[in-house]
Structure 1
Amino acid sequence: MKEAHFRIRNLTSEEYQSLKKLAKQNTGKSSIAQLAKQLLMKQLGKQGCLLPDANLQDTGNRIEVRLQSSDLNELRNRAFKSKMTANKYLAMLFQAHIQKTPVVSTKQIESLYQSNAQMLRIGRNLNQIAKALNSGAQAAVSTQMLANIKDELDKHTEKVADVIQANWERMP
């Protein structure tokens, strides 16, 4: 495929805004270049190209953001702490802002996954204790077993509380 680059010069601010509005109406995006491509393809008789982006899968689009060094370092540090890339971290923040609800980070998802695994183990322990007690057989339910279960529950509660707290801090 070949690329053709062109410029439209000497547009007034009003004309520029009108073209952007027209592009949004016709292509779904406010890209003047996309509008120009659509109109040129129409002249070539390629009517199927009226909405070229409609057939693309939504796999994510690229945007470039320029940050000061200190802001970029802060972004990278926060992303690293959340076990995410800077791009994924920014996307998460954007989604949280749009949805007006916090979005869980990769690190928090891992914590919840581990916490759920611990809860499954606790459930198995409780089932074994209940089975032994219900069978009427002599069961040695020690205070140590109960203390272990309590410790696991405390760890789970702490992890969930950390995730909730982190999400509350991100809320607007």
Structure 2
Amino acid sequence: MLRVDGVPSETKKQLQEAAKRLYGKANASLLVRSLIASHLSESEVVASPITAADAGDTVRVELRLPRVALEKVNDLAEGRFSARNYYLTSVILAHLGQPQLHGDEIEVLRRSNYEMAKVGTNLNQIAKAFNTLVKMRGDEKLPEVGKKIASLRREITEHTGKVLRVLEFGTTVWEANGRGQRQRKRK
């Protein structure tokens, strides 16, 4: 038995309404169990990552949507700083276990890494000045502050490395397709 506390009554009503639409019963528990089962079955599928070569080998697919749905897709794509085709491709790939980052996520991660790299550079300068002072005093043993600076530098390096790996994995299609932007035809 699974019990979830802290769910507002409005959320419960929304879950019941969604369950009614999907299953014909206003049973929020049924909906939640279904969502959990769906998530677990998706997470068990281990797909091999998309490579740059895979992302470059594309096939054209025609999709027909109601106009109102297309307008919503256009708005969603624009809000994520992505072209419509890239947005739709990323939604499909996410469903297949190959999530791709959108333009807004890529920009935030790149900016974050840039700022962290700047902090790392400043930290290196502080460490160099600190080490110079330690040597001038004639201490052979590195004080606790120096060890903490080195530890912080390692954490920053690890963090920026993780972000770069996320960017590399989550932008394969983005990079292969011209950064997710609309391609203009040359005259």
- TM-score, length-normalised on structure 1? 0.43
Task: Calculate the TM-score normalised by the size of structure 2.
Answer: 0.40
Ranked by relative contact order (alpha carbons within 8 Å, sequence separation 6 or more), the top structure is 2
